[in-house]
Amino acid sequence: MTAIEATKEHLFIIQALSDKIWPHTFQDILTGEQIGYMMDMMYSTSSLEKQMDELNHHYILAEDSGEYIGYTSYELNYKGTTTTKIHKIYILPSLQGKGVGRFLVETVEKTARQNKNNGLSLNVNRFNKALDFYKRIGFEVVKSEDIDIGNGFLMEDFVLNKELI
Ligand SMILES: CC(C)(COP(=O)(O)OP(=O)(O)OC[C@H]1O[C@@H](n2cnc3c(N)ncnc32)[C@H](O)[C@@H]1OP(=O)(O)O)[C@@H](O)C(=O)NCCC(=O)NCCS
Average pLDDT, the chain: 98
Can you tell me which atom of ligand 1 is nearest the CA of 98?
11
Question: Domains in the chain, start-ordered, CATH in brackets?
Answer: 2-163 (3.40.630.30)
Mean pLDDT of 130-146: 98
| CA–CA gap between residue 23 and residue 92 (Å, rounded) | 11
Q: Which atom of ligand 1 is nearest to the CA of 96?
A: 8
- Residue 43: HSE in the Cβ half-sphere, 13 Å Cα cutoff: 21
Q: What does 43-82 look like in DSSP terms, one character per residue?
A: HSHHHHHHHHHTS--EEEEEEETTEEEEEEEEESSGGGSS
Mutate to test the pocket of ligand 1, among 102, 124, 133, 137 (most ligand atoms within 8 A of CB): 133
28 CB near ligand 1 (under 6 Å):
no
The β-bridge partners of 157 are 125, 145
Q: pLDDT band for position 71 (50/70/90)?
A: very high
Rounded to an integer, the average pLDDT of 68-84 is: 98
Which amino acid, 90? Y
Nearest ligand 1 atom to alpha carbon 103: 12
Reported as a pLDDT band with limits 50, 70 and 90, residue 67 is very high
State residue 165's pLDDT score. 85
For residue 48, pLDDT over 90 is answered with: yes
Q: What is the pLDDT of residues 91-137, one digit of tens each?
A: 999 999 999 999 999 999 999 999 999 999 999 999 999 999 999 99
Q: Give residue 96's pLDDT.
A: 98
- The span from the CA of 141 to the CA of 159, in Å, is 6
